[in-house]
Amino acid sequence: MILYRGSKLVVCETKNWGLFQNDKILDEALNQGATYAVRHKVRYIIAFDAESLVLAELINDEIHVKVSSKVNADTAPDETFLFTHYGLSQVDSTSLRTIPVTIQLPISNEYKRHHKMDLHYTCFAYVGDLRDKSTWKMPYRNPDRTVDTGRIDKAVSYLLSASGYRGVQATETSVPEAAQPEVARKLAMAYQELSKWSYQTPSKAAKRLWDYLASRGETDLR
């Protein structure tokens, strides 16, 4: 992985000297690089065999070769500029050729299996660490990101009820106190989507949430 000021720019797959004289090996190297590109959520792939320098862009399930340059010369070719962090922004939109992704790409790590459903991390009211799915708490949205009317009340109970949800409530370890106001606002906005955000709401959970945010002067979600 090549980074610039903390930003991920490109993944680089290197092979033994001169192997890219065989196009099949080059395509395999780019496919291997695609697995890392998906994992790190970057779009560019560099393949290098000490003679050839190839830059490709991963677009959906295709690898688009943008630049192919020979570097086994005394003077670096002009195309080498395109492999820098300045040059990446100037890569032409056209492709020299397109390679289908022929390997199984890794499943996105942005989803968690919950009650036989794959939920995106944004479907959870609290995400402590994106890399640690055990810290994803209080599912309150469906896979299509609509509000899960069967779970949002349970999320509020877990967060604010003295008895919690099924006897389990949020702790400083599971949902730090500093994060709880933001989690509460997130849940309140979900109730607003359901037209249930009011101090006169018939929902006990929504009323509990309203009282909590009212005590902080934060019931206006605009």
Residue 106 has pLDDT above 70, yes or no: no
171 or 40, higher pLDDT: 171
Is 137:175 a contact under the CB 8 Å cutoff? Answer: yes
Q: What is the pLDDT of residue 110?
A: 83
Q: Give the span between the Cα atoms of 148 and 114, in whole angstroms.
A: 13
pLDDT digits (tens, 9 = 90+) for 164-221: 888 888 999 999 998 999 999 999 999 999 999 988 888 899 999 999 999 999 888 8
pLDDT at 109 over 90: no
- The identity of residue 11, as a single letter, is V
Average pLDDT across the chain, whole number:
90
Give the whole-angstrom CA distance, residue 25 versus residue 14.
Answer: 11
Structure-model confidence comparison of residues 185 and 108, the more confident one: 185
What's the confidence (pLDDT) of residue 53? Answer: 95
Answer whether residue 107 shows pLDDT above 70.
Answer: no
**Least confident window among 19-28, 46-55, 96-105:** 96-105
pLDDT at 108 over 70: no
Whether the pTM exceeds 0.85: the reply is no
Cα-based distances in Å from 28 to 14, 18, 98: 11, 14, 13
Q: Can you read off the two tokens belonging to residue 16?
A: 């033994």
Take residue 28 and report the two structure tokens written for it. Answer: 């395999």
Listed in sequence order, the residues at least 6 apart from 2 whose beta carbon sits closer than 8 Å to its beta carbon are: 8, 9, 10, 11, 12, 46
